[in-house]
Amino acid sequence: MDKICIKGGVPLEGIIPIGGAKNAALPLMAAGLLTPERLILENVPDLADITTMANLLAQHGVAISLETVRGSGNMLKLCAAHITSTTAPYDLVRKMRASVLVLGPLLARCGRARVSLPGGCAIGPRPVDLHVKGLRRLGAEVELRQGYIDARAPKGLKGAEIAFPTVSVGATENLLMAATLAEGETLLINAAREPEITDLATCLVSMGARIDGIGTDRLRIVGAGQLSGTSHMIIPDRIETGTYIMAAAATDGEVRLTGTRIDLVAALVRTLEGAGVEVSATADGLRVRRRGGSLEGVDIMTEPYPGFPTDLQAQVMALMATATGASMITETIFENRFMHVPELTRMGANINVHGASALVRGVRALMGAPVMATDLRASVSLVVAGLVASGETVINRVYHLDRGYERLEEKLAACGARIERMRNAR
């Protein structure tokens, strides 16, 4: 298995290009199932999760071709003219929970879908009950048997009002996609407003869907008989953007991020302003540097968009580990998303977890150590910590990083970081 070795203590200086958003690309790929025509997606990141989704779609009968355009993201062409299977098998779904996003499109287009239940996850139980309840509201018969969600709508789906009791990104995406082919009007109330949902809705509109309220928590969809193909450019990855902002601030460096937008990380920018980090817009992205020398502890609470994203919670904790003073970090989205805490503690961080909150008391320095990652964002928080720590940090289970960060070592090394991948290291 690959490992990543970092010799920390070098301030990052330079330019980092940001790729297309993984969490926008995955639902957009699933949206390819809604039309028999060709969907072209541009700015697709080159990541393990994208390959997993492509493999899943291929086994449903989708014709897929990928053109590598180095430096400006890949172009993915999908054509679901003939859907040959409506079953998403356990072997593929267990690799990536986002596979459940084929449920709504398959059911809406074919009147049948059998999708494996994703099972547990390192960051919490992550049920899919809201997806299932929503599809039932649209008139589907859904049963859970033998570990599968078995959904049928032989006469097609019918528009309905669906009020989500809690905000769910995936359930909003699944039901939004399903509603585009349902008969009549669907109203999604308390819908998630993440930029990835806006991106999906924008693409669906360009495929011929009728959607009002894009960017708000009330989406009104009027179903169409059929959707057409289109070409769509995926938005920049705001979590990759936020991660490199934190890496630059943590190392007291100065970095320019290109191919991204400051408005996508507004909550992070506001938080970091209080911590003494200046993030300013540039013509093609943003620039990060500390305002003075020191970093101040600030309190953070994760919330659905436009609040502080849970996907940046582990990275901001690594940043706060060497701030002056204390920082209270509260996780409200997932029940078990502090798995990085024991690893950061092994590197010398002073962190105490009390329920959903972690109290981080800043220390003068972190020390390199061998560490183990449990999920994507936890792994990258260890990279941020390793870049600041004195001595050597070796990160195991790098496959987590490959799911969501494209050419991570290359991008950081170009800014002076002493980082390398040890292939097949024991």
Residues involved in catalysis: 121
152-155 CB contacts, 8 Å cutoff, 24+ apart: 152/107, 152/111, 152/112, 153/107, 153/108, 153/111, 153/112, 154/111, 154/112, 155/111
- Phi/psi at 372 (nearest 5 deg)? -125, 135
Amino acid at 268: L
- Placement of tokens 């986002």 in the chain: 98
Give Cβ neighbours of residue 91 (< 8 Å, ≥ 6 apart): none
128 or 319, CB closer to ligand EPZ? 128
28 or 295, CB closer to ligand EPZ? 28
Closest residue to ligand EPZ, Cβ-based?
170
Instruction: Kindly list the residues in this chain that would bind ligand EPZ in the complex (CB under 6 A).
Output: 23, 26, 97-98, 124, 126-131, 166, 168-171, 192, 310-311, 333-334, 376-377, 404
Residue 291 CB, nearest approach to ligand EPZ (Å): 29
**DSSP 8-state code for residue 97:** G
Amino acid at 115: V
148 or 334, CB closer to ligand EPZ? 334
Structure tokens at 199: 């991106």
Residue 314 CB, nearest approach to ligand EPZ (Å): 9
114 or 131, CB closer to ligand EPZ? 131
73 or 404, CB closer to ligand EPZ? 404
Residue 355 CB, nearest approach to ligand EPZ (Å): 15
Residue 170 CB, nearest approach to ligand EPZ (Å): 3
Q: How many Å apart are CA 20 and CA 238, to the nearest integer?
A: 9
78 or 169, CB closer to ligand EPZ? 169
Q: How many Å apart are CA 374 and CA 381, to the nearest integer?
A: 11
- Phi/psi at 356 (nearest 5 deg)? -90, 5
- Identify the sign of the CA torsion 422, 123, 243, 102: positive
Q: How many Å apart are CA 321 and CA 8, to the nearest integer?
A: 15
Q: Are strands 392-396 and 370-372 parallel, antiparallel or unpaired?
A: parallel
Residue 97 CB, nearest approach to ligand EPZ (Å): 6
The string of DSSP codes covering 280-323 is: EEETTEEEEEESSS--B---EEB-STTSB-GGGHHHHHHHHTTS
Q: How many Å apart are CA 389 and CA 134, to the nearest integer?
A: 47
Residue 311 CB, nearest approach to ligand EPZ (Å): 5
Q: How many Å apart are CA 333 and CA 328, to the nearest integer?
A: 16
Q: Provide the H-helix boundaries in 181-289.
A: 195-206, 238-250, 266-275
97 or 397, CB closer to ligand EPZ? 97
Residue 302 CB, nearest approach to ligand EPZ (Å): 8
